[in-house]
Structure 1
């Protein structure tokens, strides 16, 4: 009996279309399990050299200070991947737990715990159903995790609000919503809008058996604001990092060429009243 997962079926269709919410949301776990090793090989160095980056532009938490003073704070990271951010926070005195839906991403995090000598507790959990008590955290955050990959992002915000103490912070970064209107191309071709910013159909990949293998959901700036307000959170800041001169590398559709003209990342800073 093989202990290796079956080879993924070939993608038969990729594009923007409506799919059942449960199918699109369920695809995230499998996709990240399949692609964890490749993702960490490609991006692990960039993510790990500064410890905590909010997006491909390279903005660090050390520069931005969006989480506030974390020394002694109880912190939960959702969509943590290999837990680079949580590991950096631990060196700053935070009592942090890293969570992710993907077992293979967490396996990568466990290896880095051993290699770096800065271990953080790891918990496999869906961001929409966190295994933590209400009002038990001072800070909850995610850097590009969870929110783009589920149809019901409101549940992610609601869970963050639930586990936060009054006055606690929920900070999340996502692909800047305006980028949805432009092709995911790091060259000059990615500077011409090709679809409506208001088209909320997810980008999906479907295999030849008709199974949704990947889904990424678009929300406008207004959608994100309404979601956090509905969760009982107050928007405190919206950070749109500019592309820095030192960063000459492309990451998927992010690049210096596009970054000079278009925002690539949006970081929402909210608090629980």
Structure 2
């Protein structure tokens, strides 16, 4: 049965997918693999290694921009997202570009794929920040990725939790405990849970990776690049000069 977090975020993303794609779609590109608001591009970073001919799963794909780039590189891709509306945008971009990503609507805590069918898995801010049980997700990824494969995922850098989500000067002063793991929540007009984002420390993430039977290979904290002036929510050039905004975990199966 879906968790409260899953139900809330499914409805939230269905209601906000149009606005999200309108605001961020230009930066993400239709056929581009952007790991984070800092703009780190897989075409340059090559965190997944060689993808041509490999079977790749995109976890929490949104409109499948990353998966579409992988298809263009010769990968065999499957992708899923909890939001039906996000997947409608994926279909729209498929038609616009002529590059099709097979997608499914699914919850990351219970994947609809057989064991050991993928060589690689990836997730750019997909699913993991929003689920109540990230260990279940990591175990599911380990289940569907063949031994010797790799899972690379990006999330908001945990240190950001201690600071206001403000791109200006206010966002440079910590106002809460880094160790406070109380989720950020929003409620709808009727008082029901409408959005959830969970906080885990760096130590929590390392423990979760290990607990799922994965081996952490690298942890990347992308620096804000010179000349990159785009503000994305609480991410900004000002904050990026002082604080890491993203953590990217590269794990071996």
TM-score (structure 1 length as normaliser) = 0.90
Aligned equivalent of 1:182:
163
Using the alignment, how far apart are the partners of 1:91 and 1:22 within structure 2? 35
Q: How does 1:25-44 map to 2 (within 5 A)?
A: 25-44=6-25
Matches within 5 A, 1:184-223: 184-223=165-204
Match of residue 149, structure 2, among 165, 168, 174: 168
Q: Secondary structure at the match of 1:235?
A: strand
1:242 maps to which residue?
A: 223
Gaps of 5+ in 1: 1-20
* Structure of greater relative contact order (alpha carbons < 8 Å, 6+ residues apart): 1
Q: How does 1:1-273 map to 2 (within 5 A)?
A: 22-48=3-29, 51-272=32-253
Count of residue pairs the alignment pairs up? 252
Q: What TM-score, normalized by structure 2, do the two folds share? A: 0.97
1:78-114 C-alpha deviation (Å, 9 max, x unpaired) = 1100100000011111000111010000000000000
| Shift in Å, 1:23 | 2.0
Following TM superposition, by how much is the alpha carbon of 1:50 offset from its aligned partner in structure 2, in angstroms? 6.7
Say if 1:132 and 1:163, in contact at 8 Å, map to a contact too.
Answer: yes
Q: Indicate if the aligned counterparts of 1:97 and 1:120 stay in contact, CA closer than 8 A.
A: yes
Taking only aligned residues, the RMSD between alpha carbons, in angstroms, comes to 1.1
Question: Alignment partner of 2:3: what SS?
Answer: helix
1:210 Cα deviation after fit: 2.1
Contact 1:77 / 1:142 at 8 angstroms: preserved in 2?
yes
Query: Which structure has the bigger radius of gyration?
Result: 1
